[in-house]
Amino acid sequence: GNLLSADLVVTLTATDDCGNAASCTFTVLAKDEMAPAVVCPADQSGMLDANCEFILPDYTLGLGIIDNCDPAPTAVQTPPPGTVVSDDTPISIAVSDASGNTKICSFDLLLD
């Protein structure tokens, strides 16, 4: 079989022994409905600074992300990198492909 990366118009024609022919045309739609696969990190730990604050790093860096169609899915962290927190904080990362399929991965930041 062939791998489709775009819609494909297919025409089938049948001819009998008398030369009579009939055709049927249809379109095969190439549609990505599979969300990216993400290797979500385990809970992370951090140390509060002298002001009892912790600046969130970019946890999207180094994530294991694989998608069946999009070679470069996007990853968005919430709360975003650079956010200052002072308590344990849930982190979520939404990974989306070009077709709009999204996988969300979550973990906790545990502060000391």
Question: For residue 96, what are the domain limits?
Answer: 37-111
Asked, for residue 94, whether it belongs to a domain, the answer is: yes
Asked if 104 and 96 count as a contact pair (C-beta separation under 8 A), the reply is: no
Tell whether the model's pLDDT for residue 2 goes beyond 70: no
Question: Which CATH number characterizes residue 41's domain?
Answer: 2.60.40
The CA distance from 63 to 104, in Å, is 12
Whole-structure pTM value:
0.75
* pLDDT bucket at 4, cuts 50 / 70 / 90: low
Does the pLDDT value for residue 29 go beyond 70?
Answer: yes
* Lookup: tokens for 23: 């055709």
What gap in Å lies between CA 105 and CA 109, rounded to an integer?
Answer: 13
Give the count of domains, the chain.
Answer: 1
pLDDT in tens, 37-88: 999 999 999 999 999 999 999 999 989 999 998 999 999 999 999 999 999 9
Q: What is the reported pLDDT for 30?
A: 80
The answer to whether position 30 is within a domain reads no
